[in-house]
């Protein structure tokens, strides 16, 4: 049978395999054929795997996810050719679940970016309009799923790197509660913020994949057990209290088309029976970006110190040890990692720690408290995921601060360790708009429930128009 990779959901694919209508191998080959056909234009993949292993629905993994025996570059020249000798926990769980690996997807270097333009190996392209970015840092995974080059994928989110690309590509992305998915084997960017999560076509697919990867890991001290995952069924929102934080929904820079699509989605919540009300996160949006761009680079400056040319990766010799390390890092890192490493080192340095890093850690407490207060009256908070639809390649690449603003709406909940789900909620000028649902810690089931009901009601066609 011909597999419609553009439309097929993972859940449907599972059913087909169960019923014997198609084999796992045939699925894998169908996606490989699609990749051959369309990835030249989109550049979602950095590495394609050889022989598939497993009997389930094939999957793509963002190239920050360590895979034993398969090159893992984190989008960086400094790790070109690096082949891990161990599996990350999520890769191992995916393997255990029998999901064959299609390949590793493109990412901004070390997950630092909002467009995939910081990848050392060239950007990915948005399947809705290839002259535009797919979002980042996990643009490769999102574009692959949207373009039918993978039924589902895993990405990683630090400040919005799963949710924002999902929004720009018109698909579903979950950033889980911090600590519910293991970071062991994930190339670290910011330890207290990084989380691996699913990038899928539907909310139910998202729940299914989250179930595979979630749960405490003895190899990661910062993990906790997640409540068992409920696959969402209900198509109404009766009894759900939906909060609309003023600051997230009226922030400067939100395009009118984005605002309209989100307002319609919020109205739909009412129609579905939810109690919708306004709420406030007084300082979380105002100070979220600055808080994030102090803490994340600080942790990154330390996490990236291991890339020194000694035990793996690129080495550029230049005299003694220190010279070698300095030259290796200068040649191996792109501009964005360099900027963030220096910013981070500055924020932690003697004399500046209290004012910068120390202060940012306190702002973090404020953000967590404000969200906690909002959740006393609401089960879920809604807003746009991204202030804009997909922007043109090159439009923001020269202006780091402009690029950072892409994360304005996703960052605050990340700082508080909260889960966030993106679902596509409409189009603006023919490009997808994403709706962000944020819940308290461990509230994934609520997010799935709300997301699924909205998804059914919205009936958004996730196949990019130009590919139909």
Partner 1 sequence: MAITREQVEHVARLAHLALTDEELDRFGEQLGAILEAVGKVSELDLTDVEPTSHPLDLVNVWREDEPQPSLPREEALANAPETEDGFFKVPPAVGPEPDL
Partner 2 sequence: MTWEAVIGLEIHVHLKTRTKMFCGCELEYGAPENTRTCPVCLAHPGALPVPNEQAIEWTVRLGLALGCEIAETALFHRKNYFYPDLPKGYQISQYDAPLCVNGRFAVPGADGDHEIGITRAHLEEDAAKTVHIGGAGGRIGGAEYSLVDFNRGGTPLVEIVTEPDLRSAEEAKRFLQLLRQTIVELGISDAEMEKGTLRADANVSVREAGESGYRTRCEIKNMNSFNFIARGIEAEIERQIGVWESGGEVVQQTYDYDASSNMLTARRTKEEAEDYRYFPEPDLVPVQPPPGLVERLRREIPEPPGARVRRLEAGLDFETATGLVTSGRDRLYQAVVAAGADRRAAANVVMNQLAGAGVAPDAVDPGELAKLIEGRETIPRGTFAEAIAASGDPGFSAEKYLAEAAVSDVSELDPVIDRILAENEAQVSAYRGGKEGLLGFFVGAVMRETKGKANPKVVNERLREKLSA
Whether 62 is catalytic is yes
Residue 293: name its binding partner from partner 1, partner 2, none (Cβ under 5 to 8 Å by kind).
Answer: partner 1
Q: Return the half-sphere exposure (C-beta side, CA atoms, 13 A cut-off) of residue 25.
A: 3
Is residue 283 within 8 A of residue 366, CB to CB? The reply is: yes
Continuous segment of H or E residues that includes residue 275 = strand 275-279
Identify which of residues 298 and 453 has a Cβ nearer to partner 2 in the complex.
298
Taking the complex as a whole, how short is the minimal distance between the CB of residue 111 and partner 2, in angstroms?
A: 12
Nearer to partner 2, 262 or 304 (CB): 304
270-299 as b/e: b if 16+ CB within 10 A = eebebbbeebbbebbbebbbebbbbbbbbb
Asked if 153 and 392 count as a contact pair (C-beta separation under 8 A), the reply is: no
Residues 6+ apart with CB under 8 A from 250: none
> Which candidate in 137, 301, 386, 413 is catalytic?
137
CB 447 within 8 Å of CB 418: no
161 labelled catalytic: yes
Q: CB-wise, 187 or 363, nearer to partner 1?
A: 363
Q: Which does 188 bind (CB under 5 to 8 A by kind): partner 2, partner 1, none?
A: partner 2
| Number of Cβ within a 10 Å radius of residue 394 | 12
The nearer residue to partner 1, 33 or 310, going by C-beta atoms, is 310
Cα–Cα distance for residue pair 399/130, rounded to 1 Å: 21
Q: 206: part of which helix (H) or strand (E)?
A: helix 203-213
Return residues touching partner 2 (CB under 8 A).
66, 72, 74, 79, 82, 84-86, 88, 183-188, 190-192, 218-222, 298-299, 301-302, 304-306, 308, 310-312, 321-322, 325, 345, 348-350, 353, 357
Catalytic residue among 156, 161, 284, 386: 161
Contact (Cβ atoms closer than 8 angstroms) between residue 102 and residue 48: yes
Q: Residues with Cβ < 8 Å from 86, sequence gap 6 or more?
A: 66, 68, 185
φ, ψ of residue 122 to 5 degrees: the values are 95, 150
Concatenated DSSP letters for 93-155?
HHHHTT--EEEEE--SGGG--SSSTT-TT----BTTBTTB---SSSHHHHHHHHTTS-S-EEE
Q: Give 220 or 263: the residue with its C-beta nearer to partner 2.
A: 220
Binding site for partner 1 (CB under 8 A): 82-83, 85, 178-179, 192, 218, 221-222, 224, 283, 286-287, 289-291, 293-294, 301, 305, 308-315, 317-327, 329-330, 333, 335, 338-339, 341-343, 345-347, 349, 355-356, 358-366, 368, 400-401, 404, 416-417, 441
Q: Is residue 104 annotated as a catalytic residue, yes or no?
A: no
Nearer to partner 1, 72 or 422 (CB): 72
Catalytic residues: 62, 137, 161
């Amino acid at each position: 049978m011909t597999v419609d990779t553009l439309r097929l959901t993972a859940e449907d694919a599972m059913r087909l395999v169960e019923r014997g209508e198609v084999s796992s191998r045939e699925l894998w080959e169908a996606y490989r054929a699609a990749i051959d056909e369309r990835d030249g234009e989109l550049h979602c993949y950095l590495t394609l795997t050889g022989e598939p292993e497993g009997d389930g629905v094939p999957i793509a993994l963002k190239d920050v996810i360590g895979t034993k025996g398969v090159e893992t570059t984190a989008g960086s020249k400094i790790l070109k050719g690096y082949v891990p000798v161990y599996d990350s926990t999520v890769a191992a769980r995916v393997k255990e679940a029998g999901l064959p690996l299609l390949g590793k997807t493109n990412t901004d270097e070390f997950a630092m970016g909002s467009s995939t333009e910081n990848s050392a190996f060239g950007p990915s392209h948005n399947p809705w309009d290839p002259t535009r970015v797919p979002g980042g840092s996990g643009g490769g995974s999102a574009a692959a799923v949207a373009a039918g080059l993978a039924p589902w994928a895993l990405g990683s989110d630090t400040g919005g790197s799963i949710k924002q690309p999902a929004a720009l590509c018109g698909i579903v992305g979950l950033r889980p509660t911090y600590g519910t998915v293991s970071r062991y084997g994930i190339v670290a960017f910011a330890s207290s913020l990084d989380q691996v999560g699913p990038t899928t076509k539907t909310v139910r697919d998202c729940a299914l994949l989250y179930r595979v990867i979630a749960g405490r890991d003895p190899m990661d001290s910062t993990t906790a057990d997640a409540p068992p995952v409920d696959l969402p069924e209900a198509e109404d929102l009766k009894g759900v209290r939906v909060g609309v934080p003023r600051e997230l929904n009226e922030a400067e820079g939100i395009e009118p088309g984005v605002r309209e699509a989100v307002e319609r989605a919020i109205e739909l919540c009412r129609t579905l029976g939810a109690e919708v009300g306004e709420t406030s996160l007084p300082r979380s949006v105002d100070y979220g970006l600055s808080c994030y761009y102090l803490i994340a680079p600080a942790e990154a400056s330390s996490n990236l110190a291991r890339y020194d040319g000694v035990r793996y990766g690129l080495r550029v010799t230049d005299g003694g040890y220190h010279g070698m390390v300095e030259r290796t890092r200068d040649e191996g890192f792109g501009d964005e990692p360099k900027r963030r490493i220096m910013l981070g080192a500055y924020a932690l340095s003697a004399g500046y720690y209290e004012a910068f890093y120390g202060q940012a850690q306190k702002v973090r407490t404020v953000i967590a408290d404000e969200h906690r207060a909002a959740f006393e009256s609401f089960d879920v908070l809604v807003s746009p995921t991204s202030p804009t639809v997909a922007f043109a390649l090159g439009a923001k690449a020269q202006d780091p601060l402009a690029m950072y603003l892409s994360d304005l709406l996703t960052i605050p909940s990340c700082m508080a360790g909260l889960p966030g789900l993106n679902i596509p909620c409409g189009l603006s000028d023919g490009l997808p708009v994403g709706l962000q649902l944020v819940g308290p810690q461990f509230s994934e089931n609520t997010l799935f429930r709300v997301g699924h009901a909205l998804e059914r009601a919205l009936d958004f066609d996730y196949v990019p128009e130009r590919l139909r």
